Chain A
Amino acid sequence: MSNGSGNSSSNSVPDLQAIVDRVVAKAGKGEQIEAYVSRGGETAVRVYEGEVEHFVSAQSEGIGIRVIKDGRTGFAYAGTLDADAIAEVLADARDNVAFGTPDEYAGLAEPDGVAQIPQKFWDDELAGYATADKISLTKELEKLTLGMDSRVRVEESNYDDGWGEVAVATTTGIRESGRGNSCYVSVSTLADDGDETQTGFSFSVGDSPKEFNLPKAAREAADRATRLLGAVKPPSKRTTVVLDPYVTSQFLGVLSSTLNGENVSKGRSFFADKLGETVADPRITLVDDPTNPLAYTATDIDGEGLAARRNVLIENGVLKMFVQSSYSARRTGTKSTGNATRGGFAGTPGVGCLAMQLQPGTQSQEELIKGVDDGVWIQMVQGLHSGVNPISGDFSTGASGMMIRNGAVAEPVREFTIASTLQRMLLDIVAIGGDIDWLPSRAVGLTLVIRDVTMSGQ
C-alpha cells in the first residue's frame, strides 16, 4: 500500500509484529535475519453504463525473509502466513545464502536514532464506508462525466480502496509495524466525432471518500477527451513545451533513478560525478519529502524500517545529494537517507525517491501559457518506458496536447513526439507553476515550462 507503513503506537499491529519477532529469534550464530510481513485487502468497483461491471473484494498476506551470513544474502517469500509455510520460507532463504557472492557491504539496516514524524495513515471513516455507498459513488461519477458533454462516453468508472498492515523485524534491532488505508476514484472517457475517437481520464484522491471532488474529476476527464477531437499531426520543429501537472509528475518519476545512490555507485547515473555542480536551472529546488502528509506516498518509515525524512536533492539548480538505503550507503561511505523502497513481501529493499516535490513557483497554468509565444501544451505523454533512457539521458516520448500561439491556446495536436535529453531539459526549464497537484504518484504534479525541445510530427 502507498501509505500503509505508518507505525505510531496507536497504529501498531501486535499479531504481525509477533510473527516477525518469532522468525528473527531463530537466527543462528553469525546469521543476520530480517522478516517482513504484510496483510491487506482491497475493494474495487467498476461501473459501466449504469451497472456494476465488477466488484472485487479480496485479502492477501505474505512473508519475505532475508538471511545474511558471511556477506552472502539469501531470500525467500510465500503468499501466506501459515506457520508451516513460514518455516519453509526460512529454510529456503537459508539454503539460498550459499549461492550469493560475498559482499562486504551486505547487511541489514541498524537503528540510526532519527526520530519518526508521526502522521495519520488510518481513517476510520474509510474503514467503515458501506459497500452500497462505494457503488453509488462510482455510478455518480459515471453520470456526472456523461453529463459534461454529449460527445462523451465513459469506458469505465472506478472506485478503489485498500488497507494494509506491515511489520518488520531484524536481528540488528529494527522493530516496526503499522497500518494504513487509502481510496481513490478514476474515470476513463471516450469522445466521438464521426469516425474519430479520443480518450481522456481523471481521478480524485482522498483520505476518505468525503474528500473526493467528483465534479472536478468528471470535468477533467470529459475535457481531456473532447479537447483532442479534430487534433492534427503538427509539423516538426524546436519549441517550448508546457507540461501539464500529470506529465511533470511522470517526468520527475523518470529522474528518480538518476538520483538513486545505488545507481550512482554502480555507474548507472549521469549525475555520478556532478555533486555540488549546477545540473538544473537555478529556479529548481527538488526535495524528496515523505514526511509531508499531503504527499500521496507519505510514510513515516522506509522499506527497511528507518525513519522517513525530508531530503533536499537539488537546491537552486545545484545537485546536493543522492538518496540511499543502508546498503547503498555502506557502498558509498555515507549514511542511509531513509530511502529504502520495498515492493511488498515478495521483494528485498531497493533504493528510490519516496515523495518527490519541486518547489512551486507562483504562477497559474493560464499565466504560464500566456507567457509562451510559440509552443505546445502537453496534456499526455506515451511511451516513457520505451523512449526514455535514464542512463544515457536520451528522452523521447509520444505526446498529445494543444498548440500555443502568442500566449493563447490554439488547435489540438496528436501523434507527435517530444525529444531532448534529461540533462538538457533540467537546464532548459524556464518556468515553474504554483499549481501543485498531489497526484496518486511518487512525484507531485505542477505545470513546468521547458524550452528548446524537439517536436517531431509531419
Chain B
Amino acid sequence: MSISTSENLVEADVIAKVLAKGRATGAEFSEIYIEDKRSTSAGLDDGKVEQVTSGRDRGAGIRVVAGETTGFAHTSDLSERGLLAAAEAAAAAARQGDGGVHKIALQPLLRHPVNTVRIAPNDVPKASKVALLERANNAARSIDGAIVQVSAAYGDSYRRILVANSDGVFSADDQVRTLFRVSVVATGDAGMQTGYDSLGHTIGFEVFDENDVEEMAIRAAKQAIVKLQARPAPSGSLPVVIKQGSGGVLFHEACGHGLEADLVGKGASVYRGKMGELVASPLVTLIDDGTMSGEWGAIGIDDEGHPSQRNVLIENGILTDYMWDFLRARKENRRQSGNGRRQSYADLPMVRMTNTFVTNGTEEPDDIVRATEHGVYVAKLGGGSVDTASGDFVFGMVEAYLIENGEITEPLRESNLIGNGPQVLKDIDLLGNDFAMGNPGMCGKDGQGVPVGDGQPTLRVKAMTIGGTAA
C-alpha cells in the first residue's frame, strides 16, 4: 500500500508539552487527538456527473478532565503555538486550581492495524471513480422504462489520527473508507417508488473488484419496480421474518445503544442493572467487534487511542457486558473496551458501537419462512431510532413482502415497525444459519455521526407492530 505511515502529524516532544499544559490548572488527565483527513466524493444525478469534491479536514481536539468535569477545545492550527493555546483553553474550562508542573512520559507509538488496503483510493485517477457512477446510472436505467431517475454517489476518505494522553497512551491509525450508493425512482400507475443500495468498507478501491456497481444499481432498480405493485402494509401486530444481513439495525436500536455505558451510567437505559440476567432469547449472542477486517465499523484504535477489540455483550441471551470508553471505564474502575469514538477532532469522544451483530443459529432460512403462517418478510430495513430509557424503538422497512401460508407473496409499501427492545429480544424464536453483514451505516448520537456496521442471520420475531394502514 502506498499510504505513508511513517511521519507523525505532530512531533512527540510538542505533544508532551501540550499534555503538560493541559494539566497546568490541576486536572488529572489531558489528551490530544490529532486528525488529518482527505476525502474525495463524486455525485451523479439526472444523468450527469454533478461534480467531484475534494476535501481536507485537519485539526486537533484537546480534552482535559478534572474530577467529574471535562474541558474541551479544538483548533485547526497544528503549530506548537496553536496547540498550546487550545490546551490552555481546555484547561481553563476544567479549572481546579493550580496543578503545578507535569512531565508527560509517552509510551512507544502503538499501531494496531486491522484493515488491509491494497489500492489506496488516493492513487486511483478521479476518472475511474466517475466511471463507476456512469456504469451504475446506465445499468439502473437499462432494466425498465419505469425507472425515471437515478442518483449515485462515490466517496472515499483517508483519515490519519494520532492520540496521546497524560497516562502515556500514544497511538496512531490510518483509516481508509470507500463508499458507493445508488438510489432510483420508478414511476407507475399508483405514483412513484424508490429503490436503494449501498456498499461501504474499510478497504481501498479493490472493493470494486469484488462488488459490481452495476449489480448494485440493478438491485436498487428492481426494488423500486417491485414496490410499484406494493399494497399498503398491514396495521397491527404480526410475526416478522428479517432476511440475513438486512436487519442488524434491529439490534443496533433494540439493545446496542442501551448497552452503551454512558447511557447506562446515567440510568437512561432499560438494560441498567441487568448484568448477568437473561435479557434476550437464549438463541441470541450479540457481539460488537471493531476488529472485523474490512467491515465499515472496523478501526485499528478507537478515538481515545485504545486498540479495537471484540466484545461479547449478550451470550445465549444473558447480558455479559456493556460497551465502554475512557471516562465511563475510569468511573467503574475497569478496562475500556475500544468503544470511545468521535466524529472528528472537533468533537468529544463518547461510547459508540463499531460492528454490532448477532451470531448464527441453526435454522435453514427457508424453513423460517415456511414455519410462518401469516406474517411479514423484510428484505431490506432502513434506518431506525430508539428511546434507550423506555426501550421503545422503530425501524423502517424499505423492501418487504407478505408471508401467506409459509410463502413470500405480495410486496408491501414502506412503513415503520415499532417494538420495545427487551420484549423483541425475548420474542426472537427462530434464528437462521446464514449470517451476513449488512449495508454501511452512519450512527447518530448527540449530534455526532460515526460509521458503524451491523449483521445477522435470517431470523423471526414472533410479534412486532407493523405501522401500515391496511386493516
Contacts and interface: CB of A to CB of B under 8 A. Distances in A.
A12 interface: no
B55 A419 contact: no
A416 B465 contact: yes
A18 interface: no
Interface string A390-410: 011110111010000000000
A444 B89 CA distance: 37
Given A268-B149, A454-B468, A419 B127 contact: no
Nearest to A331: B46
A168 to B, nearest CB: 18
B385 A383 contact: yes
A338 B385 CA distance: 34
Given A51-B69, A236-B235, A383 B416 contact: yes
B449 interface: no
Contacts of A419: 233, 235, 415-416, 467-469
A88 B56 contact: yes
B419 A75 contact: no
B164 interface: no
B54 interface: yes
Contact of A100 (B50, B75, B420): B50
A100 B413 CA distance: 36
Given A383-B394, A419-B468, A190 B51 contact: no
Interface string A68-100: 000001111111100001001100110110111
A10 interface: no
Contact of B126 (A60, A66, A89, A96): A96
Interface string A44-79: 000010011111111111100010000001111111
Please tell me the size bucket of the interface on B: 35 or more
A415 interface: yes
Contacts of A397: 394, 416, 467
B410 to A, nearest CB: 16
Max chain B Cβ within 10 angstroms of own Cβ: one of A60, A75, A398: A398
B320 to A, nearest CB: 21
A382 B467 contact: no
B126 A76 contact: no
B459 interface: no
A337 B75 CA distance: 37
Contacts of B49: 99-101
Contacts of B390: 196-199, 228, 414
Contact of A386 (B57, B75, B396): B396
A236 to B, nearest CB: 4
Contacts of B58: 78-80
Given A77-B55, A198-B390, A454-B235, A389 B194 contact: yes
A59 B187 CA distance: 47
A386 B395 contact: yes
A177 interface: no
Chain B facing A: main interface SS: strand
A386 B71 contact: no
B266 interface: yes
A421 B455 CA distance: 31
Please tell me the size bucket of the interface on A: 35 or more
B130 interface: yes
Chain A facing B: main interface SS: strand
Nearest to A199: B389
Given A386-B395, A396-B416, A456-B465, A54 B71 contact: yes
A293 interface: no
B99 interface: no
B55 A58 contact: no
Given A51-B68, A73-B50, A92-B54, A394 B415 contact: yes
Contacts of B236: 236, 456-458
Contacts of A53: 68-70
B276 interface: no
B382 interface: yes
A443 interface: no
B269 to A, nearest CB: 9
Contacts of A175: none
B76 A417 contact: no
B69 A77 contact: no
Interface in B8-63: 42, 44-59
Contact of A392 (B68, B191, B267): B191
A34 to B, nearest CB: 12
Contacts of A103: 48, 50
Contacts of B130: 99
Contacts of A386: 382-385, 394-396, 416
Contact of B56 (A61, A79, A268, A458): A79
Contacts of B67: 51
B267 A190 contact: yes
Nearest to B69: A52
B383 to A, nearest CB: 4
Contact of A85 (B56, B127, B187): B56
A416 B385 CA distance: 14
A78 B75 CA distance: 14
B149 A417 contact: no
A387 interface: yes
B349 to A, nearest CB: 11
Max chain A Cβ within 10 angstroms of own Cβ: one of B52, B68, B75, B233: B52
A348 B415 contact: no
B281 to A, nearest CB: 19
Contact of B389 (A62, A197, A346): A197
B94 interface: yes
A420 interface: yes
Interface string A368-384: 00000000000000110
B266 A48 contact: yes
A153 B268 CA distance: 10
B414 A396 contact: yes
Interface of B: 42, 44-59, 67-77, 89-90, 93-94, 126-127, 130, 148-149, 185, 187, 191-194, 227, 233, 235-237, 266-268, 270, 346, 348, 382-385, 387, 389-390, 392-396, 413-416, 418-420, 465-469
5 A-B pairs closest in CB distance: A417-B467, A386-B396, A387-B416, A383-B394, A398-B394
22 contacts: A52-B69, A55-B71, A56-B348, A58-B75, A59-B75, A62-B76, A73-B51, A79-B57, A79-B76, A80-B56, A99-B130, A101-B49, A103-B50, A153-B267, A155-B389, A383-B394, A386-B384, A396-B468, A415-B392, A416-B418, A420-B469, A456-B466
Given A389-B194, A458-B236, 19 more contacts: A58-B75, A79-B57, A95-B54, A155-B389, A199-B390, A236-B235, A266-B45, A267-B148, A267-B185, A270-B191, A383-B396, A385-B396, A386-B385, A386-B416, A389-B414, A391-B194, A396-B414, A419-B233, A419-B416
